[in-house]
Amino acid sequence: MNTHNKLMGYVLWIFGFMGAHRFYFGKPVTGTLYFFTLGLFFIGWIVDLFLIPAMDRSADLRFREGAKNYNIAWILLTFLGVFGVHRFYLEKWVTGLLYLLTGGVFLLGVLYDYWTLNDQVSIINTEGGALR
């Protein structure tokens, strides 16, 4: 099972001093810590260069593979989250429209999705709701 991708992790690591790669690999608490401390004052960010393969394995074991792709969902959230495009991809039409009209519910919804996107995709994949 390969739900997450090391290459994507390394690309997000470039912005890792803001916690992007940690959110991607399902570590929202440390992602938030990195966001507010610039990757633990850049030291944690550099150490993570070597920890990404382990974080990738951990995420692959934790999250469910299925019809909805984690990488696509994360790309959409990262670059188009304020427009709700990632929510449309997950077939969450009402909240997608709400995000579109409110700038990701004034960015708070985008932050919420950084914390929960992996679980949202995993639930959809587990329930088979995305298999139609």
Q: Are residues 29 and 58 in the same domain?
A: yes
Question: Domain residues for 102?
Answer: 70-127
CA–CA distance, 95 with 74 (Å, rounded to integer) = 17
Q: Are residues 123 and 82 in the same domain?
A: yes
Share of the chain above pLDDT 90, in %: 92
Q: Which residue stretches of 14-128 are H helix?
A: 20-24, 28-41, 43-62, 70-80, 85-89, 93-106, 108-127
pTM: 0.90
Residue 1 inside a domain? The answer is: no
Number of domains in the chain: 2
**Token pair belonging to 74:** 């994360």
- Span 7-19, pLDDT tens digits: 999 999 997 778 9
Residue 111 inside a domain? The answer is: yes
Residue 132 inside a domain? The answer is: no
Q: Are residues 45 and 87 in the same domain?
A: no
**Token pair belonging to 67:** 């019809």
**pLDDT at residue 63 in the model:** 97
- Span 77-106, pLDDT tens digits: 999 999 999 999 999 999 999 999 999 999
